[in-house]
Structure 1
């Protein structure tokens, strides 16, 4: 296998492992456990169902109806509507978990996802911000707030994600930076407000 092909395969693997559903699910579970033990884990499962679960079902429907051709590479023109729907799911999940009295770190996570997704949806008609860098940088901030110094190893995922998305030619450096700023800013704001 030539070097370019191997590099591309590695970039695809890094991209697959850092998609938001892959990052969010274990993060919800860890934060839920840290926040409230076994009860927090139940709250986390509710968060996963309302966000990741419903988002993936919606994406599956979009692929089945042909509105999205490749779920691993959603084109900018195909992203706007789904981002708005996912943002609405995050807002609804945040409101429900808040009304039911869920743990504040989980509410902060939901709010950070809602804020980031609304901002990404607003920017998408103008540019193609990276959801991957938004997700990884947001996860690093979340882990820093909840687990302290453990946020540093998560932040170290940003350079490989940046490399992978650049190698796959999915984003420009500006789009990668924009995603990172949105993820960082939205998560920081949510945790400052709620945690």
Structure 2
């Protein structure tokens, strides 16, 4: 009987883990520049891919590589950096990488929407880094909320239902006991409040 009772809980945990991995900040940091670059350079697909790969290098590949090395060397407990006290250096390195990438994109003449997207990513990461010095704000929720808000701005009201993804990501973080509901809600609000005006003004 206990096995039957525990089965839904185990299934729920597996789903939460899957959601957390699929919609991790590093994934959004790779997917969003690709979508925005292709959309802003259409129909020149190759041009869009070139800009996207440049942005992804600095916004996703380098920051995630820093985290991966930290995990491999035992300085970080896991690739989501579940221990708040371990987050400072990886987040700072991530900020520096995104800032360098932003400078490269600006000087190379990247499309304005892509530059706006990278600025959004930098702003969200900066706020998450600052708050995480004292409180474990959910980076997953902040990045998901900021990203989905930008997609609604770019593609219109038809994508409003997709904002439910923010709630799904938040649920996964609470279900895995990596964050409290307050930390998830605060992260989502921060992502939206930073992303919407920043992207609208710069794009």
TM-score range (shorter-chain normalised) is over 0.9
- For 1:27-49, what per-residue CA distance to the aligned partner results, in whole angstroms no more than 9, with x for missing partners? 22121111013212210111011
CA distance in 2, matches of 1:150, 1:43: 26
Match of residue 100 from structure 1: 108
**1:31–1:166 Cα change, 3 Å:** same
2:12 corresponding residue in structure 1: 7
Q: Which runs of 5+ in 2 are unaligned?
A: 1-5
CA contact (8 A) 1:166 1:172 kept: yes
TM-score, L = length of structure 2: 0.90
Q: Note closer, same or farther for the CA distance 1:59–1:150 as it changes in structure 2 (3 Å cut).
A: farther
Larger radius of gyration: 2
1:58 aligned to 2:66? yes
Please say if residues 139 and 154 of structure 1, whose CA atoms lie closer than 8 Å, have aligned partners that are also in contact.
no
What number of residue pairs does the alignment pair up?
195
CA contact (8 A) 2:95 2:126 kept: yes
Contact 2:81 2:87 in 1 (8 A): no
User: What CA distance in whole angstroms lies between the structure 2 residues aligned with 1:110 and 1:120?
Assistant: 15
CA distance in 1, matches of 2:131, 2:159: 27
Structure 1, unaligned stretches of length 5 or more? none
8 Å contact from structure 1 (residues 112, 189) kept in 2: no
Which residue matches 1:27?
32
2:160 and 2:29 mapped to 1: Cα distance?
Answer: 17
1:122 to 99, 109, 130: 130
Q: Which among 71, 80, 85 is matched to residue 88 of structure 2?
A: 80
Equivalent residues of 1:142, 1:151 under 8 A apart: no
Equivalents in 2 of 1:63, 1:110: separation in Å? 26
- Is it true that 1:16 corresponds to 2:24 in the alignment? no
* TM-score (norm. length: structure 1): 0.93
